[in-house]
Amino acid sequence: MTFIRTICVVCVAGLAGCGGGSSGADAVSYSDLDTRYFEIADQFSREVANITDPMTLRDTGSVGYVGVIGFQAQQPGEERLELLGDLRLTANFQDDEITGSATNFADENEAIYSGTMTISNGGINRAADVTTNYTFGADVDATLTTADRTISTDNMIILGDFYGGAEQFISGRLDGQIITTDGPPIMIDSGNSYFVGEAR
């Protein structure tokens, strides 16, 4: 399976304004998630520089990652929608599988969304040329609901890479579109729809 790289995520790019403060295991607000994103990104940028060569990935066991995932989308003439959520992703290196989920979504207006984003059918490509392809990819499926809006994903995927000699970090992007209760399908802004995670 090949995961084509259309945007190179070598340096972690931010989803929103730079946050500050301490991270927490149970962030449920946009500001908390934004802070956590930048804390992981800062640690990421200080500790690792390059994508892990897929040929050198471990071949036994699994690693769990925690982090933040987010996406942006905008209808013409409408306010930009931006959501952040808690990411939990597992890389099964023995079977080259990627699975995970994300919860606790909040938007830039601090509206809280119920529902779970499921990450499934994922694979690791150990033959990937990371100059043109991502190391792993997976399907994304979600229905997220707040008081006045429901957002569903449509043909959404995540694409990413491992970073560090011990696969300490993951980073990548989302691609696809969303469907909301107040408009037609919208392509997400894949240039500003990222995830980042650290091994736990």
Query: What are the domain boundaries of the chain?
Result: 25-199
Predicted pLDDT at 8: 38
CATH number for 25-199 (one of 2.40.160, 2.40.360, 1.25.40, 3.30.70): it is 2.40.160
Q: With contact defined as beta carbons under 8 Å apart, do 135 and 124 qualify?
A: yes
Q: Give the pLDDT confidence of 32-61 residue by residue, as tens digits.
A: 999 999 999 898 888 887 899 999 999 999
Q: Give the pLDDT confidence of 125-137 residue by residue, as tens digits.
A: 999 999 999 999 9
Pairing label, strands 97-107, 81-92 = antiparallel
Predicted pLDDT at 139: 97
Indicate if the pLDDT at residue 96 is higher than 90: yes
Predicted pLDDT at 191: 83
Q: Which long-range contacts (CB under 8 A, 24 or more apart) does 22-25 make?
A: 25/66
Structure tokens at 96: 């080259």
Predicted pLDDT at 80: 83
Average pLDDT, the chain: 86
Indicate if the pLDDT at residue 21 is higher than 80: no
Under the banding of pLDDT at 50, 70 and 90, the label for residue 26 is low
* Mean predicted confidence (pLDDT) in 181-197: 86
Q: Is 75 exposed, middle or buried (0-12, 13-18, 19+ CB in 10 A)?
A: middle
Q: How far apart are CA 89 and CA 91, in angstroms?
A: 7
